[in-house]
Amino acid sequence: MRTRSQDVTEILRDWILTGTVTGGERLEEIPLAEKLGVSRTPVRAALTLLANEGLLDYQPKRGYLVRTFGADEVFAAYEVRATLEGLACRLAATSGIPDAAAATLWACVEEGDRYLAKGYLAEEDFRPYQAMNVTFHETILKLSGNVWAERFVNQTHGIPFVSDRIILWHDYGVILRSHNDHHRITEALIRRQSARAEDLMREHVYFAGLFLKENFHRIGRGADNGADKI
């Protein structure tokens, strides 16, 4: 059973990772408790945990500040994630994709097709598309059979804008390109084309990081009002 502290931690972590609160911003117990409708105790516990995770910096007399990540630092995390998810694809393709897993991947592809068939990603489709993207990537990681690849990829998700739960949707063409990758990756996996599957996934994640790096400041500003994230 989840505790109030866990719920608050998840909310604050999401705010940090999506850029809802920006680097250098001060997070204070009392205003946060009032905003979230909880006591100061779970907020205090959440702030301590997030500081231990490296997402917050604690400074005497100033309290907790959201850690600032630069474009190069974020892109470096994407490079690591690209390598590890590429490895996961290669391992999964080599082992062979069970029918049930193949059905899950194709269901993700078809779901994304429906959302994007309008020629834009409608606001009501943001969250469902995001959930589909998470399912797609997590399915492949589990199929790899390599718990370390899965664990270390999850660690990169602890850096703002790196998680597969974040969709940089400002440019429909970027999303469409990314989803077309899902088609190609799924086909390569099912055909057991291990080298091709690895290359496709590496480029898929690398391109997302490159797009973020080249648009880092615009996306960071847009995160303040939800314009470039979901």
pLDDT, tens only, 124-155: 888 899 899 999 999 999 999 999 999 999 88
Entry pTM: 0.77
> pLDDT higher for 98 or 67?
98
Q: How remote is the C-alpha of 132 from its chain's centroid?
A: 12
Give the integer Cα–Cα distance in Å for 108 and 114: 10
pLDDT at 176 over 60: yes
What are the extents of the domains in the chain? 4-66, 71-222
Give the integer Cα–Cα distance in Å for 204 and 34: 41
Beta-strand ranges (E) seen in 62-153 are: 63-66
Fold of 71-222: Four Helix Bundle (Hemerythrin (Met), subunit A) (1.20.120)
Q: 58: helix, coil or strand?
A: strand
CATH code assigned to 4-66? 1.10.10.10
Calculate what percentage of the chain has a pLDDT beyond 70.
90
